Amino acid sequence: MRAVIVAAAVAFIISLFGTPVAIRVFTALKAGQPIRSIGLASNQGKKGTPTMGGVVFIVATVFAYVAGHIALTTLPERQIAQEGPTMTALVLLGLFVFCGAVGFFDDFLKVRRRNSDGLSAKGKLLGQAMVGGGFGVAALYVPSSDGQTVASEHISLIRDISWLDVGKIGAVLVIVFVIMAMSNGVNLTDGLDGLATGASILVLSAYALIGFWQYRHWCADDAYARVNEYCYQVRDPLEIAMIAAAAAGACVGFLWWNTSPARIFMGDVGSLGLGALIGGLAVATRTTLLSIMIGGLFVIITTTWVIQIVSFRTTGRRVFRMVPLHHHFELAGWSEVNIVVRFWIVAGVCVAVGLGLFYSDFLAVVG
């Protein structure tokens, strides 16, 4: 627990005090957020607000992970279950950094061209697919000394579903889909001040709890496995908990400056990176299907966006006033703060239900 707390605290401090520096730097570089002319009139006042703030919490998370590992060296020998950096950390942080890099390139093009046309949709999807595929292969084909891999060849809910074996190639495709779905889900959610940041904090905190719970009931811990047959077959769960907690702490520090009225936006560098990390956490903790509930807000916003596109292209009619969904409620007369807080509540309920399902599985076996 000490390492997890240290990682979260270090990330929070770096992000809290590093974000104002980023605001000044990006303002001096004139890296302001372009706003679409066809968008909501209420958003035009945000034009020029510094963007690319996601760089701060990505950097903070990486440094915090290192700090967490330093804290690990002070623990009793039996508790140090892995020595880093592990393949789990390389996969999760790699997804965070490299999908963030795809978003950074998109943001850079927007700022350079002084409009909202950055990287093309196909180019962005291709970049996400390449990153997801590369780290998916590493997660499946690079085992630890005891043969454990970061990802599994099975589809998982709360643990691997034994009869849903899709093979290595199928598993890589599943990983790519999960990474792209979550990455774009967070990206679509990032439209109002603090909305995506706050929702991501809740989801990342849930995965920090899941990772630590799996560490305390880990099959690789001989002291636990000898007295209880119910354990989690995952690789490096303490690493998972540290990275999730560090990312959550970094987002809390960033939210101080990102909440309404935002002084800086996370940009695609932040939203694409966060979504990829959340997808990676789902794969690493063997909770791929459960992530649909834990990241429920992102799923809802993505689903309504798909419904709108399909409906308009097939019937010429719109189901919602505007997508993503939060803009629908803006046009309905809700204030930005009301939308953000209520969507946070939805995200919190989804996380609570997801954690409840996760824990109920444990109770069903040990009870």
- Residues annotated within a binding site for Mg(2+): 187, 268
Instruction: Give the Cα separation of 109 and 104 in Å (integer).
Output: 9
| Residue 187, both tokens | 């990206």
The CA angle 50-17-66, to the nearest 5 degrees, is 110
Annotated binding residues, written as ranges, equal 187, 268
Q: 121-141 and 267-284 are packed helices; what angle lies between their axes, rounded to 10 degrees?
A: 30
Instruction: Give the Cα separation of 132 and 179 in Å (integer).
Output: 6
Instruction: Give the Cα separation of 218 and 364 in Å (integer).
Output: 17
Q: Count, in order, helices (H) and strands (E) of the chain.
A: 13, 2
- 344 contact partners, CB below 8 Å, separation of at least 6: 195, 198, 199, 202
- 44 contact partners, CB below 8 Å, separation of at least 6: 35
| Residue 162, both tokens | 């034994």
Instruction: Give the Cα separation of 252 and 16 in Å (integer).
Output: 8
Instruction: Give the Cα separation of 354 and 239 in Å (integer).
Output: 21
Closest to 213 measured CA to CA, from 163, 159, 175, 153:
159
Instruction: Give the Cα separation of 82 and 356 in Å (integer).
Output: 28
Cβ atoms within 10 Å of 205's Cβ, excluding its own: 20
Burial 279-309 (b: 16+ CB within 10 A, else e): bbbbbbbbbbebbbbbbbbbbbbbebbeebe
